[in-house]
Amino acid sequence: MPHPLPTLETPLLRFIKETHTEFSRIDAGEVASYIPELGKANPDHFGIAVATTDGHVYEAGDTQVPFTIQSVSKAMVFALALDLLGAERVEAAIGVEPSGEAFNSIRLRADNKPFNAMVNAGAIACSGLIAESAGDEAFELIRTALGRFAGRDLGVDEAVFESERSTGDRNRAIAYLLRTYGGVVGDVDRLLDVYFRQCSVLVTARDLAVMGATFANHGVNPLTGDTVSSNYAVARTLAVMSSSGMYDFAGEWIYRVGVPAKSGVGGGILAALPSQLGLGTFSPRLDMHGNSVRGIRTCEAISEAFDLHMLSRRDDVRTCVVADYDFRTVPSKPGRQPHEQDILSARSGAIRAIELAGKLSFASMDYVTRRLTAPADVPEFLILNLHRVATITDAGLKLLTGLIKNQLPAGTTAVIAGVEATSPVAPQLKALREQGVRVRIFPTYDAAVEWAEDQVVYRHGGFSRIEVEADLSRQALLAGLSPQELADLSRLGTRVVFPAGTRIISANEPPARVYFLLRGMVSARSAGDVRLSTMIPGMVFGEMALIEQPRSTDVWADTEAVCVEVTADQFRAFQETHARAADRIMRNLAVLLAGRIRMATARIEMLTG
C-alpha cells in the first residue's frame, strides 16, 4: 500500500488507486507525433475512471484532464450511424471483419468495402454515411451524440483539428479510394472536416468511463438516464470493438483482456462490459500498435483482478432451485381442520412447490423446465415460488411462458407465488398475464399454498361439513356445561347471519362480542391477509372479549356464517348467575388459547426452521 488509506474506501476504489500508483511508474511508449499538435501532450498524465451501471464514478489521477478523443469516437459514431440510418444501410456499406492490419491501413476488402468501422477507412465511410444524410448538420449530430454518451456537452480542440486537417493526407487518400468505389459520395474535403472534427472532440478519462457505462447499461446513460443508443446498436458496436477495437492488437486483446474496448492515439481507451462497468483511461504514451501503454496495463489488471473476461463465467444452473417438494414432505399449513388435513394428506402429490432464487436466465430456467418432463413430475397445482428471484432475463421469461403455455398438461394449474407489487419481476409477470398466459399470481407463498390447498379440499368435498348447523353443545369452549346452562347462555345471546366475505371482527375494534359459530366457515387473518386459522361449526371466535383483551386479528366470513353473538356485558350477567359455568368456561378458554399457541409455535417453526 503506497499510503495509509482512509477508512470506508470501497475495495474497488482502493484497487483503482493502487493500480494508478503502480502503473504511474511505467514510462514505456511514445506520445503520438504524426499529428504535430498531439506531440504536445504531457506524457506523464495518467487517469483511471470506472463508471458503474448504476451511475457511480470511481476516479484516480488525471481523470479531469481533457484530450482529443481520436479513434475512440469510432465506437459511438458507428452506434449512432446504426440507429440513425438503419443497420441494413450501414452494414451494407461497412464490413465487420477484422482487417489484421494497422488502423491507418488503406487496404479494403476484396469487394472494396472497408473491413470494419474501427479502422480509419470504415470510420471515414461511417461519418460519410452520416454526412450524406445530415449534410451540414453532420458534425453537430455527432458532437451531440458523443455528449449524450458522456452525459455532458463536449467541445472541440481547434488546434488539433487544424493540425489533423493539414497533415491528414493518408486519410485523404483513403477517402478518395473509398469514393472510387462509391464507399463515400460528395465532397471529400467537407467529409474529412467532419471526420477530423470528430477526432478532435475533447474528452476526459471520466467521460470515456461514462460512455463505456452507457454501452454497459444497454444504451442508457446511467448518470443522466438518457437513452442514447438502441440495444441492437450497443450489442453490435461492442461486437466490432471486440474483434477490431484495438487495431491489430484485437485478437491479443480478446485473448488476454476479454473486454470490448476502443483506443485512440490521443491516449484514451474506452472499455465496456455489459451489465458490469465502463472503464476510461488516459495516458498519452502509446505502444507500436497505437494503444496507450498504461491504459492497456490498467485494463489487463482490472480484468484479471476481477475476472472480467467476457468468456469467463461460472454459474451452476442448479443453484436456481433452492427447494422442490410435493406436500408429502412438508406439513400443510396450520389452521386446517383435521378432516381437511386428511383430504390433503391423501392427495399430497396434488401440489408441488418449486422455490427459485437469483436470476432466471436461459440456462437456469431450462433446468427448471426439465424437472417437469415425466408425467409423474406434474401435479394438479404447480407453485413456482419466485420470492427470492431477483431477475428474469428475456430468454428466461420466454422459457417460463413456454412451460406454462405448452409444456404443462391441461390438468395442471400454474401458480406463481412470492411476487409483490414491489418485486423486481412483477412487471414481467404482469405482462405475462396480459398476454393471456393462464397463471395465478400471489404476493406470498402462503397465500398461494392456501389457495391451492383450498382447491384440493374443495374438489374433494372437504367443505361439506360446514353446511350442517351445530348447536352450542358442540362448542369446545362450553364443554362441561349443563343443557340448562347452555340454554340460558343462548337465550342471552343473539343469532346473527353474516354473508360470505363480511369482515365480522376488525383487529382494532374494542373487544365487545364473542361469537359461537353454528354454520359456515370463517378465518382469522393478519393485516397482511395471511390466514392464521380457520374456524368451522363448533368453534368460537372473538373470545378475547371474555377477558377484556384487545382483538389480535381480523375475522372474515369465508362462506355465509351463522353465529350466536354474546356481548361482554351479556357474559358478565351470565357470570353473576352461573359462577361454576363461568369458571369452567374460563378454564376451557385457557385450554383453547394454549392449543392456539402450540399452532402458532409450529407455524413459526415452519417459517424459521
Smallest CA-to-CA distance from 502 within 418, 570, 558 is with: 558
Q: Which is nearer to its own copies, 20 or 45 (CB)?
A: 20
| Footprint of its own copies on 565-584 (CB under 8 A) | 583
Q: How far is the CB of 467 from its own copies (least distance, A)?
A: 29
Q: Is 607 in the site for its own copies (CB under 8 A)?
A: yes
Angstrom distance (rounded) from CA 232 to CA 491? 78
Please state, in angstroms and as integers, the Cα–Cα distance from residue 153 to each residue in 423, 424, 519, 533, 609, following that order: 37, 34, 74, 63, 57
> Binding of its own copies at residue 590 (CB under 8 A)?
yes
Count interface residues toward its own copies (CB under 8 A): 129
- Which position among 248, 340, 485, 558 is part of the footprint of its own copies (CB under 8 A)? 248
Binding segment (CB under 8 A) for its own copies, from list 140-148, 174-182, 230-238, 561-569: 230-238
Does residue 74 carry a catalytic annotation?
Answer: yes
Angle of helix 138-150 relative to helix 205-216, nearest 10 degrees, comes to 80
5 vs 487, which CB is nearer to its own copies?
5
Which among 57, 58, 74, 160 is annotated as catalytic? 74
Q: What angle do CA 65, 217, 302 make, to 5 degrees?
A: 60
Site string for its own copies, 373-392 (x = CB under 8 A): xxx-xx---------xxxx-
Distance of CA 559 to the CA centre of its chain: 40
Give the SS3 label for residue 441. strand
Nearest to 235 by CA among 75, 40, 473: 75
C-alpha cell at 89: 444501410
Active site residue 333: no
User: Which one, of 519, 595, 602, 607, lies nearest residue 563 by Cα?
Assistant: 519
Which one of the spans 160-168, 187-195, 337-345, 541-549 is the region binding its own copies (CB under 8 A)?
A: 541-549
Measured from the CB atom, the residue of 140 and 377 that comes closer to its own copies is 377
Tell whether residue 4 is a contact of its own copies (CB under 8 A): no
Q: Tell me if 499 contacts its own copies by CB under 8 A.
A: no
Closest approach, Cβ 416 to its own copies, in A, equals 16
Q: Give yes or no for residue 198 binding its own copies (CB under 8 A).
A: no
| Spatial contact of 237 and 79, defined as CB atoms under 8 Å apart | yes
Of 57, 71, 228, 522, catalytic: 71
Does 458 qualify as catalytic in the annotation?
no
Draw the binding track, 437-466, toward its own copies (x: CB under 8 A; -: no contact).
Answer: -------x-x--------------------
Q: Residues 6 or more apart from 288 whose CB is under 8 A from it?
A: none
Q: Catalytic residue among 58, 247, 445, 515, which?
A: 247
Which residues, numbered 108-137, are part of the site for its own copies (CB under 8 A)? 115-116
Please report the sign of the dihedral spanned by the C-alpha atoms of residue 166, residue 170, residue 173, residue 178. Answer: negative
Residues 273-312 that bind its own copies (CB under 8 A): 274-277, 305-312
Reading the block at residue 390, the C-alpha cell is: 431477483
**Does residue 589 touch its own copies according to CB under 8 A?**
yes
- Answer for which of 198, 291, 490, 553 binds its own copies (CB under 8 A) is 553
With the C-alpha atoms ordered 93, 97, 99, 102, is the resulting torsion angle positive or negative?
positive
In whole angstroms, the minimum distance from the beta carbon of 456 to its own copies comes to 21
Contact call for residue 483 and its own copies (CB under 8 A): no
> What is the residue-wise DSSP string for 1-14?
--SPPPTT--HHHH
**265 classed as catalytic:** yes
Q: Could you give the strand order of the β-sheet that contains 57-61, starting from the edge strand earlier in sequence? A: 57-61, 47-52, 277-282, 268-273, 261-263
Give whichever of 338 and 409 is closer to its own copies, judged by the CB atom: 409
What residues are labeled active site?
71, 74, 195, 247, 265
